[in-house]
Amino acid sequence: MIIEFFKSRWKHYLIGVLFLVLIDYLQILVPKYIGNVVNLVIKPPVDLSVIFKYVILIVFIAGGVVIGRFIWRMLIVGSARKFQVYIQQKLFEKFLKSPIAFFDSTSVGNLMAYYTNDVQAVSQMLSQGIIMTVDAIAMTAFVFGGMLMVVDIRLVLISLIPLPFVALSSWYFGGKIHQRFKMVQNDFSFISERAQESFSNIKTIKSYGVENEFNRLFKETCDKFARDNFILLRISAVYGPLISFLAALTMAIAIFLGGQMVISGSVNLGDFIAFISYLGMLTWPFVAIGQVINVVQMGRASHERIDALMNTPERDDGGMDFPGRFQTLEIKDLDFSYNEKKVIKNLSLKIQAGQKVAIIGKIGSGKSTIAKLMTKLYTVEDGKIFYNGVDINRISAKSLRDNVLLVPQESFLFSTKISQNIAFGLKEFSDDEVEGASKVAHFHEEVVKFEEKYDTLVGERGVTLSGGQRQRLSLSRGIFKDAQVIILDDVLSAVDSQTATLILQDIEKEFKDMTKIVITHNIASIKNSDIIFVIDDGRIVESGDHDELMKLNGLYHRLFMIQQIEREIEK
């Protein structure tokens, strides 16, 4: 990603680096001019016009440095900010293209850590990392060049004493910083995960009175983050001052030996002052090396994490368009496993256009998994699922979902208006269409009770709505889509059986040509289905209409009788 980004911004970085080098060159002229002024002052008569000329030059250099710094900061730091936006967009695109299985094994907190700490660390590497690297190299080269012009070679050699120690320290501490920062980033991911999980389930936590337990778990996570951070801090705290100490030691040696040369007359005072100024300027490159190692190693660690994420397999969106009008859906001898646990076993079924189909079974029997496989949320082997005789793996995911809509049992709502939640994904829509879909789902009578009606904000995750209202809003969204096949995955579990039956009857009246697949455990709402598939332990154990299944006196009959008894008890 970095190389791809540099291809579009290399001119900005190049110009920024050139201005940075130019500023470094201008700065090393100042000590030379100051040394010349000192030499003029200590050897009367003093020519004030010459001194004034040097003063004007120094002022112009200062002005040039100000302008140049503004330019390179805008170009280099500005490009790094662009990269931050670029990489965040790339990450978001990656998440959208990733298969559902990726999100099953990756927490939201971990994903958010990529967006915050990791992106920030890489951005710092591409701004401060580049600036300090170029600045340190250019300044070091120019300073040594300036020294050679004004002082004895022996003093210049003295200033080189710390370089081998700086290189050795950078190699040793750099590796440790890299390793430790990756650990710190992983710890931060766990903190984000723990916080997100707790905040999302705060009602459950309070209902069960386990605040202290969750507080203890979060504290343990934070303590580990703090411990690893302190270890990283100790490494950086030793490394940075060590580099500064080497620079100060060089200055002390230079002053001692250089002072003797001035006393002996082998070096004049002005040149020695220039040399000390140059040596002071050389302190920054030494310090910058320490800082740049920190920044680059942290950036590298974060880039490795992001790069590993970007290289995870993506959902295959290639393929043909959905093959015309829906005619048949056929599943043949399908097996499917989650993490080596088989949940669908040798399952076969066939659905015809216009049918009202029900899939029922006990909790955990595999009903929802079938729905996800029908809509390509998980990948199956070739030759297992067919639409109009075409293998599902040959049909693009987008085209398939435009024609076969799954309304999931998790009625997730967005923090926006009711109307925008129903017309999900569309910028422009008519109020009549939204209201029509809402009426079919028996949600309209609830909406008109709100003061703002369809402009009512539902709050985060639909917090202002009841469970039944959230499900009916989610169903309204599915009805609004008007697909050829609609799969309702237990979307009316929070609605009473009488209302659920009325809703399904209205859907049948409104969309006679639409193929409807209802996944539920509520038999009363699907008794009039054309065909009912009974699932148990990932297998179809019975199939037929209501009367046929009741005559079999099998699992369907037992579930029906249990639900009848439960309703009698409720009455």
Asked whether residue 208 carries a pLDDT value surpassing 60, the answer given is no
Kindly report, residue by residue over 504-550, the tens digit of the pLDDT: 778 777 777 788 888 887 787 788 888 999 888 888 888 888 888 88
Q: Which of 239-243, 256-260, 370-374, 483-487 has the lowest mean pLDDT?
A: 239-243
In three-state form (DSSP H/G/I as H, E/B as E, the rest C), the secondary structure along 318-332 is CCECCCCCCCEEEEE
Residue 314 pLDDT level (bands cut at 50, 70, 90)? low
Res 210: pLDDT: 67
The dihedral over CA atoms of 417, 420, 421, 426, expressed in degrees to the nearest 10, equals -160
Helix (H) or strand (E) holding 84: helix 78-97
Q: Give CA–CA dist 78/11, Å, rounded.
A: 13
Confidence of residue 386 (pLDDT cuts 50, 70, 90): very high
User: Which pLDDT score is estimated for 363?
Assistant: 81
Q: Is the pLDDT of residue 278 over 70?
A: yes
One DSSP character per residue, 265-319 reads TSS-HHHHHHHHHHHHHHHHHHHHHHHHHHHHHHHHHHHHHHHHHHTS------S
Q: What are the tens digits of pLDDT across the range 73-100?
A: 888 888 888 888 888 888 887 877 777 7
Tens-place pLDDT, residues 225-253: 888 888 888 877 787 777 777 777 777 87
Residue pair 543/361 in contact by the 8 Å Cβ criterion: no
Instruction: Write out the residue limits of the CATH 3.40.50.300 domain(s) in the chain.
Output: 328-570
Nearest to 488 by CA among 366, 356, 390: 356
Q: Note the helical H segments in 404-466.
A: 418-422, 431-440, 444-447
Q: Cα(322)–Cα(195) distance, rounded to whole angstroms?
A: 42
Flag whether pLDDT at 200 surpasses 80: no
Instruction: Write down the mean pLDDT value for the chain.
Output: 79
- Return d(Cα 257, Cα 159) in angstroms, integer: 11
Comparing 502 with 535, the larger pLDDT belongs to: 535
Query: Does the bond joining 285 to the residue before it have cis omega, within 30 degrees of 0?
Result: no
Summarised one tens digit per residue, pLDDT across range 11-39 is 888 898 899 888 888 887 777 777 777 77
* Segments of the chain assigned to CATH 1.20.1560.10: 2-310
Give the CA distances from residue 190 to residues 193, 212, 220, 281, in Å, rounded to whole numbers and listed in that order. 5, 19, 11, 43
pLDDT greater than 80 at residue 283? no
Please report the pLDDT score of residue 287 as a whole number.
66
Report the pLDDT averaged over residues 50-66: 85
Number of residues that this document lists for the chain: 571
424 near 462, Cβ under 8 Å? no
Q: Which residues pair with 540 in a beta bridge?
A: 535
pTM for the full model? 0.64
- Cα 225 off chain centre by: 20
- Tell me what the mean pLDDT of segment 44-70 comes to: 82
Contact between 410 and 368 (Cβ < 8 Å): no
Tens digits of residue pLDDT in 345-355? 888 889 898 88
Q: Which residues have C-beta within 8 Å of that of residue 220, sequence separation ≥ 6?
A: none
Compute the average pLDDT of residues 464-486. 80
Average pLDDT, integer, range 168-195: 74
Contact 497, 523 (CB under 8 A): no
What share of the chain in percent tops pLDDT 70? Answer: 87
pLDDT range class, residue 369, cuts 50, 70, 90: confident
**Does residue 424 register a pLDDT over 80?**
no
Class of 2-310 in CATH: mainly alpha
CA torsion sign for 96, 98, 99, 103 is negative
What does DSSP say about strands 390-391 and 385-387: parallel, antiparallel, or unpaired? Answer: antiparallel
Q: Quick one: pLDDT band at residue 104, thresholds 50, 70, 90? A: low
Give the separation between CA 454 and CA 446, rounded to whole angstroms.
10
Contact 286, 247 (CB under 8 A): yes
Label each residue of 361-412 as H, E or C: ECCCCCHHHHHHHHCCCCCCCCCCEEECCEEHHHECHHHHHHHEEEECCCCC
- The residue with greater pLDDT, 200 or 366, is 366
Q: Which residue has the tokens 């002996």?
A: 264
pLDDT digits (tens, 9 = 90+) for 138-177: 888 887 777 777 666 777 777 667 767 766 776 677 667 7
pLDDT on residue 7: 77
User: Strands 385-387 and 539-544, how do they pair?
Assistant: unpaired
Q: Which residue has the higher pLDDT, 338 or 374?
A: 374
For 256, other C-beta atoms within 10 Å of its C-beta total 10
Q: Kindly state which CATH superfamily the domain 328-570 is placed in.
A: P-loop containing nucleotide triphosphate hydrolases (3.40.50.300)
Binning the chain into helix, strand and coil, the percentages to the nearest 5 are 65, 10, 20
- Distance from C-alpha of 310 to C-alpha of 323, rounded to nearest angstrom: 32
